[in-house]
Amino acid sequence: MRKYGLIKLGLAAVMLTSASAASEGADVSGGPAYLPPAPPLPFVYNWTGFYAGAHGGVGWSDGDGGGSAGFIGGGQVGFNYQINQWVLGVEGDFAGTTIKDSVSATVIGPGVVITGNAEASLDWVSTLAPRVGYAFNNWLVYGKVGGA
């Protein structure tokens, strides 16, 4: 009996060892794999659409009358369309100014002295221009060429 008891114990040990090896193999090859969640998609700024804005500042003339400074202010409107990193658009702006300048001239001839004064003012400025730019997420570097 002792001989059969050792054989049974040996068989039990072999079965337990092989059962654990088989269960590990099932987990590795056939079970559902754990995948970490996908990283969130990065936010990419989209420049497509209409926009409007205001601007203001100081301008000056540099004429012979000594020049003068004045206020300049207005607004702009436009539309952009983004294709990958490239941004195409059109922009129009209008600004009123208070820039003025004057000049005086004197002509001296034989027995005659003539003096004249002239004044010029820049009342407004307006432009309409196409734009081409390159977007770096929320930065847009652009250039525009058009008529004023």
pLDDT in tens, 20-69: 554 555 555 555 667 888 888 776 789 999 999 999 999 887 766 566 88
Percent of the chain past pLDDT 90, that is, above it, reads 39
What phi and psi values does residue 11 have, to the nearest 5 degrees? -65, -40
* pLDDT above 70 (res 16): no
Contact 116, 104 (CB under 8 A): yes
CB count, 10 Å around CB of 93? 19
pTM of the predicted model over 0.85: no
Give the pLDDT confidence score for residue 110 in this predicted structure.
Answer: 86
The token pair that represents 33 in the structure block: 């794999």
Give the pLDDT confidence score for residue 102 in this predicted structure.
Answer: 80
Distance CA 145, CA 140 (A): 16
17 — pLDDT class (breaks 50, 70, 90): low
1 — pLDDT class (breaks 50, 70, 90): low
Give the pLDDT confidence score for residue 118 in this predicted structure.
Answer: 81
pLDDT in tens, 80-130: 999 999 999 999 999 999 988 887 888 888 888 888 888 888 899 999 999
Q: What are the angstrom distances between the C-alpha of 108 and each of 65, 71, 118?
A: 19, 37, 18
Strand partners, 96: 73, 124
* pLDDT above 70 (res 19): no
Percent of the chain past pLDDT 70, that is, above it, reads 74
